[in-house]
Amino acid sequence: MDFITYKSLVTSLTHGKKLPDAVYLHQCSLGQVDEILADLTLRIASALKIEDGEWNIVKYYKRDYKLALLNYPTFFDYAYPSLHTSFTIDLAKLSLRKASYKKSDNPPILHRKETFLPSNHEAVTLFKSFTEEGERLGLYENSRTIGFKKNWERLISNKGYFIDEEGHIKPKAETSPEEVSSQIAVNGEIDRHKTAIDRNQLSQPMQILAKHNYFDGNWSILDYGCGKGDDLRELEAHGLNISGWDPVHNPEGGLSNSDIVNLGFVLNVIEDREERTETLNRAWEYSNKLLVVSVMVAGESVISQFQPYKDGIVTSRNTFQKYYSQSEIRSYIETSLHENAIAVGQGIFLVFKDKLEEQQFLSDRQHIRRDWQQKTKREIKTREPALKKDFIDKHIEIFTDFWETSLELGRIPANSEFEFSEQLRRIAGSHIKAHEALKKHFGDALFEEAHKSRKQDLLVYFSLGLFEKRKTQTKMPDSLKRDIKAFFSSYNAAIDEAKELLFSVGSNEIIFEACNQAYKTLQCGHIQEGHSYTFHKNYLGDLPPELRVYIGCATQLYGDIDDIHLIKAHMRSGKVSLMRYDDWSKDTPMLVERIKIKLRDQDIDFFDYGERFEPSPLIDKYKYM
């Protein structure tokens, strides 16, 4: 059987527990599936000598040519049985991977067991009662976090319940979970004044603004909800035009419209939903050009350690925290303000009121700063005698500066784009004449490479704008207008090419080819055949445009990747992983954070190493250099 036939049979299954990437069935359901698929399953088990007692659940992958035989020994005896053994068979690679969870204190568990069985099975009614019990208590609201035993038990405990021997969920006491959570706040009041913290460096949102050159002195800034004012004092000391206001610590602070408004870690400490939205809209009203919104991001493993209160939790200090997921806070901002939010970090987003500035920001983001200077110097050493060689050598500094600017832009700079334009025009007559002479002097090949690379940057920019469904702008920065004129016949032509590029990344085969092409071209990184390509982020600009868009779609969900070291492009699963290490300069850096971005689900998983997960060494760092 080939993969196309297998995939068709799996997607046509009419029953079973259906997830986005797989379908699960109990062994007793095989009599109700297509006999070709059932026969394949049983023949695989027989060939690998996996006996009936060693598996009772089959997992059919939808997107990969794989299946797994899983053993949940207490499937019929307990409401939420634990996984003991799994056999994963890769039919494309003809490989087998076995994993045992028998000694694990936190194994995977099953829910909604009735979906695994034929509809007429005698256990369906009982299993449905377990599911309905959990639904009434709101246990399935975040299904991503309940697949492991400890998470499930912790969630039930935090709701004020426990699991009895049969698996039924019973209250710990007569008091309801709602009453328990409402009693946590002293006298019914949250101590908001305790949420402000002391800082010894700029907050993360302010660091991001600095990185993007918004602290060059040309922008007025309002820190809305400035807390104890540490950011305010630091930026004032640097002579920036900044004011701050806080309802507790600085109620007399100046509230006036500013170019940039920072709403830093404010929304997550407001327990009233309506007030939260009012605060967001009020900050937006004070912004002339740009609003920065940041909140705390955390998963269920963090949230479950605290007492639930309203839509967040109450800390031991009687302060409120509303933890968000990356996709949740983005959706909240965009729904509240009816504007696009641009992720620049974990829980940090920019919202532009000035749409010209937004286009410039996004365009600059995709403009890769390549080391043309090094290539230019290499060309100088090997060039053939060129037209006006003596004349160019006489003014080599200004000509080389102009040439490197041309390479950076991939086109002839406008007068306003070259600092010494007036001097150059006095020497050469015009930018065009200087450019033609320099092409002969340094060679056409380098400029053609720069022209091609810059066009790819622009296509990636336009493609990602389409992915974000950004509105077509009637006005655009002058530099972008010049780019369109130099690289495309018209704006519509640029959009047509960008659409074609964006649609292409939906093909697994194209991503597969792009990953292999990148590996062959760069001759570095690590390729796992048929699965993924991992490379250092410094080579992002050297990737084929299809792969850059694929990764760009993922990082638009996450934000800037300045602190990231390695990027893994998964070829067939619609995922991108980002890895951050403790010190890349070390011979063997240790992995401290991994971020998995799931494009198909528009969601992100964060994994911190050092607490929940053991840091792992990168023993083959040389591959990525």
In terms of pLDDT, which residue wins out, 304 or 74?
74
Tell me the pLDDT band of 608, cut-offs 50, 70 and 90. Answer: confident
Mean pLDDT of 454-468: 93
Q: Which two tokens stand for residue 616?
A: 């792992």
Strands 307-309 and 287-294: unpaired
According to DSSP H, which parts of 324-394 are helical? Answer: 326-337, 355-366, 372-382, 389-394
Residues in CB range of 120: below 8 A, 6 or more apart? none
Residues in CB range of 119: below 8 A, 6 or more apart? 15
Mean pLDDT value across the chain: 86
Cα–Cα dist 151/156, whole Å: 9
Tell me the pLDDT band of 591, cut-offs 50, 70 and 90. Answer: very high
Q: Which residue has the tokens 């940041």?
A: 294
Whether the full predicted model's pTM is greater than 0.85, yes or no, is no
Least confident of 141-145, 218-222, 593-597: 141-145
Cβ pair 410, 351 in contact under 8 A? no
pLDDT tens-digit map of 517-530: 999 999 999 999 98
Residue type, position 174, single letter: E
Cα–Cα dist 98/94, whole Å: 14
**Biggest CA pair distance of the chain:** 94
**Which phi and psi (to 5°) does residue 532 adopt?**
-165, 165
Mean pLDDT of 489-516: 94
Tell me the pLDDT band of 199, cut-offs 50, 70 and 90. Answer: low
Beta bridge partners of 61: 22
Q: Categorise residue 429: left if φ over 0, alpha if ψ from -120 to 50, beta otherwise.
A: left
Cα–Cα dist 406/570, whole Å: 35
Residues of the chain with pLDDT > 70, as a percent, come to 89
Q: What pLDDT, on the 0 to 100 scale, is given for residue 144?
A: 62
CATH homologous superfamily of 192-353: Vaccinia Virus protein VP39 (3.40.50.150)
Q: Which two tokens stand for residue 13?
A: 């299954």
- pLDDT > 70? residue 230: yes
pLDDT tens-digit map of 177-186: 444 344 444 4
**Which phi and psi (to 5°) does residue 283 adopt?**
-60, -40
- For the chain, the domains span 3-116, 192-353, 369-503, 508-624
Residues in CB range of 52: below 8 A, 6 or more apart? 27, 45
Q: What's the distance, Cα to Cα, between the start and end of the chain in Å?
A: 41
Beta bridge partners of 109: 82
